[in-house]
Amino acid sequence: MVAVPIPSRRPANIPRRSCVPIDARHGRILLHITQPVIFGENHKNHEFEVWDPIRDQQWAVPTIKGFPNLNAAVLCAASTTVGTCDHLHCRRGPFLVVYVASTTDDGPFCVRVYSSEVGSWSEPTYAVRRPDYVGFRVPSALGGSSIYFTFLYAERIFKYSLSKQKISLVRGPPLQGGHVALVTREDGGLGLATVVDFRLYIWSRENGPRRHDRWTQIRVVELDKLLPVSAHMTFYEVVGAANCAGVIFLATGDGFYVIDLKFGRATKLCQDNFFTGIFPFTTLDNTATMTTEIIPSVVL
């Protein structure tokens, strides 16, 4: 098997212009169907579709009551149990959609899970609200049998255990602000990337005794040595990562860059920089060659 870490292109055209990618994993892309915002109407219903761009097949997901602050993820149904699927050939199998939202500005967090096998959403799981908001259209990360989402402020990370159906909040590393991207490490653990003062920081969450996990800073990349001079005087924002591939996606005022941590190089892919998130879509062809392509979620 040959891994190609640098994204090459975007797959087939998204089925509808009103659809915006909100996640991509295990051979599927989760699309959020956008609707016109009516002034004064905060709680609208939300529609999602799951799309297999290789076969150009879509699955409609039942409408779910919406809240003003949400995110969602798609994943193989076997993700509830670690080690039962290698996720290389499961795109034709059953899948799950995990929906997380804030019920009101000061209300609890809510999680519901859609199962393609059952054909319906689960009953909601609630947790006490902290003063923060889930990052909308920001990439999530799958670690073990848990799915992780970022908040707008990275003091804590939202964790939902698929096997235990339990919500918990994970304390993030000591950061100095800035956007973050969650990363799934090769061993299935959780990592995090962020940019501060033109430096790319990579963190790893290590399991500690008595559930006292700790964050370790494992790498610092000097971006001014990788990016061209034209990008030095602009903003830098981490907008995604190719899990297990050592690739970070960076939006700057000079365009969109891919940072390859393994080879220590930066590649400019386009001039656009208005992405809220980048979702890598990985395919495996008949020659067992793995290719990663980018799925951007744009600002509307």
pLDDT of residue 254: 84
pLDDT of residue 130: 64
Handedness of CA 77, 140, 129, 298 (dihedral sign): negative
Please choose, from the candidates 236, 296, 229, the residue with its C-alpha nearest in 3D space to the C-alpha of residue 269.
296
Q: Parallel, antiparallel, or unpaired: how do β-strands 125-127 and 120-121 relate?
A: unpaired
Task: Give the C-alpha separation, 198 to 177, whole Å.
Answer: 13
pLDDT of residue 56: 83
Task: Give the C-alpha separation, 225 to 240, whole Å.
Answer: 21
pLDDT of residue 200: 93
Q: Parallel, antiparallel, or unpaired: how do β-strands 57-65 and 69-76 relate?
A: unpaired
Q: Provide the 3-class DSSP secondary structure of residue 209.
A: helix
pLDDT of residue 270: 79
pLDDT per residue as tens, the chain (300 positions): 223 344 444 444 555 557 788 898 888 999 988 765 444 455 567 889 999 888 888 899 999 877 767 899 999 998 887 766 766 667 778 999 999 987 666 678 889 999 999 999 999 998 876 667 787 778 899 988 899 998 876 678 999 999 999 999 888 888 876 788 898 888 888 999 999 888 999 999 987 666 677 899 999 999 989 988 877 777 788 888 887 668 898 888 888 888 998 889 998 887 766 666 677 776 655 444 445 565 655 444
pLDDT of residue 103: 65
Q: Roughly how many angstroms between the first and final C-alpha of the chain, as a whole number?
A: 38
Residue 188 DSSP class: S
Task: Give the C-alpha separation, 119 to 174, whole Å.
Answer: 41
Task: Give the C-alpha separation, 243 to 260, whole Å.
Answer: 12
Is the distance from CB of 147 to CB of 158 less than 8 angstroms?
Answer: no
DSSP letters, 80-105, are GSTTS--SSS-TTS-EEEEEEEESSS
What CATH number is attached to the domain comprising 188? 2.130.10
Question: pTM of the predicted model, to two decimals?
Answer: 0.84
Task: Give the C-alpha separation, 290 to 1, whole Å.
Answer: 7
Number of domains in the chain: 1
Task: Give the C-alpha separation, 226 to 254, whole Å.
Answer: 13
Name the token pair of 209. 């005794």
Range of the structural domain that residue 113 is part of: 2-36+44-298
Name the token pair of 145. 């049998």
- Residues contacting residue 154 through CB under 8 Å, at least 6 positions apart: 172, 175, 178, 180, 192, 194
